[in-house]
């Protein structure tokens, strides 16, 4: 595991354990922090001032805008119909895959162990609860939880952390 030479790092990027990550062919914006045991694949773009917590996986086709938070163990996917082999039984190669893009907008937060299916857009300042499975687009400022993830509130209406906790506990 390592940071490959083809990674474009912005200024002041902090990779806490460079020997315990797998980064290749990606772009990382200024002042971003990356924890241990993170994989960021080719054609991923991460904005400035993001935080990627340990054990997270950002696959090809993911775009994070500025100031996005990714909790521990977050998994992105990029193929709705993954298969190991083609119809003729031959192993798939890179030429056989069709990557579906995913966008996480400015200031969104994704809680630990969430799974993000391909092709979704997570709106600006949205909050994805821990363990949620996001199967469709999330509106700006929405709070979503569950499997599949569903909207339970609006960040602007909740206001502070205490009210957010009360909102989540009332489920």
DSSP alpha helix (H) spans, the chain: 155-158, 161-169
Report pLDDT digits (tens) over 145-157: 999 999 999 999 9
**Do residues 7 and 15 touch, judged by C-beta distance below 8 A?**
no
Rounded to whole angstroms, the Cα distance separating 162 from 140 reads 21
Other Cβ atoms closer than 10 A to 10: 15
Report pLDDT digits (tens) over 43-68: 999 999 999 999 999 999 999 999 99
pTM of the model: 0.91
Mean pLDDT score of the chain: 93
Looking at residue 97, its pLDDT comes to 84
Closest CA to 26 of 3, 50, 52, 56: 3
């Amino acid at each position: 595991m390592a940071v490959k030479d083809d990674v474009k790092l912005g200024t002041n990027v902090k990779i806490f354990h460079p020997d315990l990550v797998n980064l290749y062919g990606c772009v990382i914006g200024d002042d971003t922090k990356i924890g241990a045991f993170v994989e960021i694949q080719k054609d991923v773009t991460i904005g400035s001032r993001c935080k990627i917590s340990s054990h997270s996986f950002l696959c090809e086709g993911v775009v994070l805008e500025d100031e996005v938070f990714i909790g521990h163990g977050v998994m992105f996917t990029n193929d709705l119909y993954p298969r190991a082999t083609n119809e003729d039984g031959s192993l798939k190669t890179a030429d056989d895959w069709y990557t579906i893009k995913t966008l996480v907008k400015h200031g969104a937060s994704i809680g630990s162990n969430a799974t993000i299916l391909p092709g979704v857009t997570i709106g600006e300042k949205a909050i994805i609860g821990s363990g949620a499975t996001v199967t469709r687009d999330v509106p700006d400022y929405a709070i979503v939880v569950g499997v599949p993830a569903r909207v339970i509130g609006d960040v602007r209406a909740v206001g502070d952390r205490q009210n957010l906790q009360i909102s989540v506990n009332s489920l």
